[in-house]
């Protein structure tokens, strides 16, 4: 059976449990073990799909079309795992499952209770069969949160059921540094571990977020008061790039702690792929300036996968990528001066749309490499229709119901395939031979992940082609344009999908790699 590592957090939120989980998984992979990952969020939303990027950050999408927490992106990027809808589970989804089961009569008229019915449902998701050596499960929220107690009870029960030596508990805490007194305070960590113990869980390893490495005395003190060996207290120091985390853990013998707990043979890890990234970060190489014209910049994680994909493409092209945040709501062409490339990402709603259209026009008219993602493709075709085809009121019916609709909801979309209202998850695309898209992907059949409601109307394809914009990728049934490009432009390529969801730090993504290559050349 698989062995399980549970990652919990205390003291404050946003300590980096997702990165810690991915980092531990990466160490296991470096020794040849296979790893899967799952995320449990206590909040009562059914999933993150309706949550605002301004509050929650990015909504990540799996191949099977499930809207998930952005931490699943960490798992897929770090571990190369392909996760599914059953790997991102919220409290709301658990209660929804239980209440629907009650309405169907599944409990045979019995009283439905938190224990065993809710806890059993959580454990079913945790223990869903998977063909890997390890499953790393992150429990969202902070120890002490009311809504999280049932999740802690469930993992306590799960450990008893599968055997304590088949489960490891890793707890992230915070040790704040007080400048006035010059002290690193360990009391918050002690209190957090005590709260965890009140839920029946003894941490097997602590990762303590600190501004510097813990001293031997500090580790000893934390270990003594938290009931674990001092060597199992790890310094979770800040790093300038998350891909340095596995190297930091390796230096502190985190795998040895995991191996000792599970009775694994000690083995050296192959950390070459992370060492390559560290070498790249310190390299004296050119920098390309990429203007990202968006509107969700108030939350750092709103464009998390996008930022990561640009970074990955920089590695593949051996250039540093500097991202310039350009607010679409007050866009002026001057903001694009000095940019080596312009990227317009996805988004919903009317705010900033005209700024994004203006950005696409600037890139087209000034031969600046342009990459459009989802809405970034739609604004590109709207701009082309207005300023090249001369259709002054060209627009999307999302923004103007009385326009000439270049972008619209396709009336014969199957609602089941659309996830209710959105086209979600991986869909196939056929690329036309001889196009730049074929050069980019190196094949004529691809699959990319989607998250959108409106489509470019294919009936305009011939008029666009005659004027110089080609639909170079289309759905297999010929109904839905997936990629557009301007062959005469140095690089003007846009896709209806979200390629950032399939980018990897070890290989990048073909579309981002090609865009950054063009930007470097520009």
Report which of 43, 42, 49 is spatially closest to residue 68, judged by C-alpha positions: 49
| CA distance between the termini of the chain | 53
DSSP character string of 364-406: HHTT--EEEETHHHHHHHHHHHHHTS--TTEEETTT-TTSEEE
Residue 192 neighbours by CB under 8 Å, 6+ apart: 10, 11, 143, 144, 171, 173, 174
User: 466-500 as b/e, with b when 16 or more CB fall inside 10 Å?
Assistant: eeebbbbbbbeeeebbbbbbbeebebbbbbbbbbb
C-beta atoms surrounding 309 within 10 Å: 30
Q: Is 41 helix (H, G, I), strand (E, B) or coil?
A: strand
Q: Which tokens hold the place of 179?
A: 């400048």
Locus of tokens 């690089």? 491
Report which of 462, 455, 452, 430 is spatially closest to residue 443, judged by C-alpha positions: 430
DSSP 233: E
Contacts within 8 Å (CB) and 24+ apart, 260-266? 261/165, 261/168, 261/204, 261/205, 262/3, 262/165, 262/166, 262/168, 263/165, 264/31
Annotated active-site residue in 58, 482, 485, 500: 500
Annotated active-site residue in 312, 340, 489, 498: 498
Examine the residue annotation and report whether 374 is marked as an active-site residue of this protein. Answer: yes
Annotated active-site residue in 336, 374, 403, 429: 374
Q: Is 431 helix (H, G, I), strand (E, B) or coil?
A: strand
Q: How many CA atoms lie within 13 A of 5 on its CB side?
A: 33
Examine the residue annotation and report whether 500 is marked as an active-site residue of this protein. Answer: yes
Examine the residue annotation and report whether 403 is marked as an active-site residue of this protein. Answer: no
Annotated catalytic residues are 374, 498, 500
């Amino acid at each position: 059976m698989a062995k399980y590592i549970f990652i919990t957090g205390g003291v404050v939120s946003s300590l980096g449990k997702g990165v810690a989980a991915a980092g531990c998984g990466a160490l296991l992979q470096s020794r040849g073990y296979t790893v899967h990952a799952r995320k449990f969020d206590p909040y009562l939303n059914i999933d993150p799909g309706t949550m605002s990027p301004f509050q929650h950050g990015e909504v990540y999408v799996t191949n099977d079309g499930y809207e998930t927490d952005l931490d699943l992106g960490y798992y897929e990027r770090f571990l190369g795992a392909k996760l599914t809808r059953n790997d991102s589970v919220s409290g709301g989804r658990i209660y929804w499952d239980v209440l629907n089961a009650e309405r169907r009569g599944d409990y045979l008229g019995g009283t439905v209770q938190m224990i065993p019915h809710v806890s059993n449902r959580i454990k079913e998701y945790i223990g869903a069969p998977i063909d890997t050596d390890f499953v790393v499960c992150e429990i969202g929220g902070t120890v002490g949160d009311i809504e999280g107690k049932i999740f802690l009870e469930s993992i306590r029960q799960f450990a008893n059921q599968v055997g304590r030596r088949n489960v490891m508990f890793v707890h992230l805490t915070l040790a704040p540094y007080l400048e006035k007194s010059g002290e690193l305070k360990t009391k918050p960590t002690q209190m957090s571990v005590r709260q965890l113990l009140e839920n029946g869980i003894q941490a097997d390893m602590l990762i303590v977020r600190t501004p510097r490495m813990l001293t031997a005395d500090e580790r000893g003190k934390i270990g003594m008061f938290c009931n674990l060996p001092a060597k199992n207290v790890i310094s979770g120091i800040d790093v300038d790039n998350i891909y340095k985390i596995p190297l930091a853990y390796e230096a502190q013998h985190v795998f040895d702690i995991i191996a000792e707990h599970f009775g694994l043979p000690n083995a050296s890890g192959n950390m070459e792929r992370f060492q390559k990234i560290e070498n790249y970060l310190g390299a004296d190489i050119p920098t390309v300036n990429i203007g990202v014209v968006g509107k969700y910049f108030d939350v750092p994680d709103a464009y998390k996968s996008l930022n990561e994909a640009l970074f990955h493409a920089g590695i593949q092209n051996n250039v540093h990528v500097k991202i310039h945040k350009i607010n679409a709501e007050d866009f002026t062409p001057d903001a694009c001066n000095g940019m080596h490339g312009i990227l317009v990402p996805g988004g919903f709603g009317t705010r900033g749309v005209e700024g994004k259209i203006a950005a696409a026009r600037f890139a087209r008219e000034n031969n600046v490499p342009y990459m459009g993602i989802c809405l970034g493709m739609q604004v590109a075709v709207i701009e082309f229709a207005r300023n090249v085809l001369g259709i002054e009121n060209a627009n999307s019916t999302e923004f103007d119901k009385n326009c000439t609709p270049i972008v619209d909801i396709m009336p014969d979309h199957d609602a089941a395939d659309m996830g209710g209202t959105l086209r979600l998850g991986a869909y196939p695309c056929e690329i036309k031979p001889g196009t730049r898209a074929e050069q980019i992907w190196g094949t004529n059949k691809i699959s990319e992940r989607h998250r959108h409601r409106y489509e470019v109307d294919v009936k305009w394809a011939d008029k666009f082609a005659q004027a110089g914009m080609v639909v170079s990728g289309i759905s297999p049934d010929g109904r839905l344009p997936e990629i557009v490009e301007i062959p005469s432009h140095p690089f003007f390529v846009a896709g209806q999908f979200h390629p950032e969801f399939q980018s990897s730090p070890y290989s990048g993504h073909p579309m981002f790699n090609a865009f950054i290559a063009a930007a470097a050349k520009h």
